[in-house]
């Protein structure tokens, strides 16, 4: 183990020497660092330049290969196009040669067909001329026979027409005369019937008018008589009203005269027929009779007691007659208890 350097305490010279040594060491270290950095930059730069050189060389080789491939492709395409054009030219030449041969053969066949058609047409014309001559001769003979027959038929038809026309004219003239005579007879008959009906209608209208006038006069006289009767009756009722002391007395008299009161009594009797009214009578104590205490305070207390004693029987009676039951909290319980007491009293009394 290396011993630390010995320093003099308080020695200025030694202190300066130490500072100088530290400065020297620092400079040496910095120089070493600078040398290392310079060497690093040199190595890196050299490696970088070498890599760039290799990349450029590889790029040039690749471009050369691509260009060569493209040239090969273009050459192949050109050769393919040339072969295609040669094949097309050869095909066109062969097609032209075949078409020329076929055209020659077709022309030959067409000429042969035209010759055959002309021969057939000539034969047809010869046969047609022969048939036409014979047919024309036959047609002319038949036409002459038909003309003769038609002339005979036309002559017979004209004769029949004249005969039929004469008969038709005679029948039409006779029918016309008969129709005119019948029409005149019908007109005369209808005219007479119409005149008779019109005369009868006129007589009926005059009779109905006279009857209507008489009925109207009779109705007028009847209405006048009825009005006079009503006026006389009104005067009589006015006198009766004065006699009975006014309209009320007259009304009572008329109701008695017409039996209105009797009808009302019958209606009331029929209305209450079959009803069974129930009457309840109860006594609230000794104070309810004729005698009672003379004390005023006692009388008031007895009155209140009598009222409260009266309520339960009253509620019981309402329930028995109408079927209405008051709420339990009001009078129902008290009414039930009072009913039980009444039943018990009746039972004790019967014993």
User: Which range is most confident: 261-265, 306-310, 343-347?
Assistant: 261-265
In this prediction the pTM is 0.23
Cα of first residue to Cα of last residue in the chain, in angstroms, is: 148
- Residue 1 domain-assigned? no
Of 340 and 150, more confident: 150
Residue 349: give the domain boundaries: 300-351
Query: Residue 119: pLDDT above 70?
Result: yes
Question: Looking at the domain assignment, is residue 239 inside a domain?
Answer: no
Please say whether the beta carbons of 298 and 317 come within 8 A.
Answer: no
pLDDT at 268: 79
- Higher confidence at residue 230 or residue 278? 230
Flag whether pLDDT at 251 surpasses 50.
yes
pLDDT for res 182: 83
Residue 188's Cβ-side half-sphere holds a number of Cα atoms within 13 Å equal to: 5
Given this model, what pLDDT does residue 278 score? 60
Q: Quick count: other Cβ atoms within 10 Å of Cβ 316?
A: 20
Check residue 82 and give its pLDDT.
Answer: 87
* 323/36: higher pLDDT: 36
User: What mean pLDDT, rounded, does the chain reach?
Assistant: 76
pLDDT in tens, 6-59: 455 445 555 666 667 777 778 888 888 888 888 888 888 788 888 888 888 888
How far is CA 39 from each of CA 25, 35, 36, rounded to the nearest angstrom?
21, 6, 5
Q: What is the mean pLDDT of residues 57-80?
A: 86
Residue 127 falls inside a structural domain: no
Mean pLDDT, to the nearest integer, of 120-124? 85
Say whether pLDDT at 91 is over 50: yes
pLDDT at 286 over 50: yes
Mean pLDDT of 275-291: 56
Average pLDDT over residues 177-205: 80
Looking at per-residue pLDDT, the higher value among 265 and 332 belongs to 265
The answer to whether position 5 is within a domain reads: no
pLDDT higher than threshold 70 for residue 120: yes
Average pLDDT over residues 219-246: 81
pLDDT of residue 1: 45
Model confidence band, residue 245 (pLDDT cutoffs 50, 70, 90): confident
Instruction: Annotate 75-96 with DSSP letters as a single string.
Output: HHHHHHHHHHHHHHHHHHHHHH
Asked, for residue 308, whether it belongs to a domain, the answer is yes
Task: Assess contact for 251 and 237: CB atoms under 8 A.
Answer: no
Nearest CA to 332 among 314, 349, 315? 315
pLDDT for 230 beyond 50:
yes
Average pLDDT over residues 74-84: 86
Total domains, the chain:
1
The least confident of 18-32, 44-58, 144-158, 293-307 is 293-307
Amino acid 10: pLDDT: 47
Phi, psi of 323 (to 5 degrees): 80, 5
Give residue 293's pLDDT.
47
Report if residue 310 sits inside a domain: yes
**307 in a domain, yes or no?**
yes
């Amino acid at each position: 183990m290396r011993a630390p350097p010995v320093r003099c305490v308080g020695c200025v010279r030694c202190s300066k020497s130490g500072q100088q040594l530290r400065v020297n060491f620092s400079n040496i270290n910095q120089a070493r660092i600078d040398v290392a950095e310079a060497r690093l930059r040199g190595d890196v730069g050299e490696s970088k330049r070498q890599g760039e050189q290799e990349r450029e060389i590889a790029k040039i080789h690749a471009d050369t290969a691509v260009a060569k491939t493209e040239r090969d492709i273009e050459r192949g395409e050109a050769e393919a196009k040339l072969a295609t054009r040669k094949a097309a030219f050869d095909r066109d030449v062969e097609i032209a040669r075949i078409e020329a041969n076929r055209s020659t053969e077709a022309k030959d066949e067409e000429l042969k067909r035209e010759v055959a058609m002309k021969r057939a047409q000539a034969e047809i014309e010869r046969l047609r001329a022969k048939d036409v001559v014979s047919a024309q001769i036959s047609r002319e003979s038949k036409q002459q026979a038909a003309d003769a027959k038609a002339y005979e038929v036309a002559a017979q038809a004209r004769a029949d027409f004249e005969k039929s026309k004469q008969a038709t004219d005679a029948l039409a003239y006779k029918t016309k005369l008969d129709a005119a005579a019948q029409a005149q007879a019908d007109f005369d008959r209808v005219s007479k019937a119409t005149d008779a009906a019109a005369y009868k209608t006129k007589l009926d209208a005059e009779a109905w008018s006279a009857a209507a006038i008489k009925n109207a006069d009779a109705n007028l006289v009847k209405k006048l008589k009825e009005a006079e009767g009503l006026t006389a009756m009104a005067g009589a009722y006015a006198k009766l009203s004065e006699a009975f002391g006014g309209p009320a007395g007259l009304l009572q008299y008329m109701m008695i005269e017409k039996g209105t009161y009797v009808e009302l009594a019958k209606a009331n009797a029929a209305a209450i027929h079959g009803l069974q009214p129930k009457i309840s009578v109860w006594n609230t104590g000794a104070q309810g009779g004729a005698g009672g205490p003379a004390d005023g305070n006692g009388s008031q207390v007895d009155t209140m007691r009598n009222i409260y004693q009266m309520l339960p029987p009253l509620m019981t009676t309402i329930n028995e007659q109408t079927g209405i039951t008051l709420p339990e909290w009001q009078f129902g319980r008290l009414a039930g208890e009072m009913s039980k007491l009444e039943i018990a009293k009746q039972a004790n009394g019967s014993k």
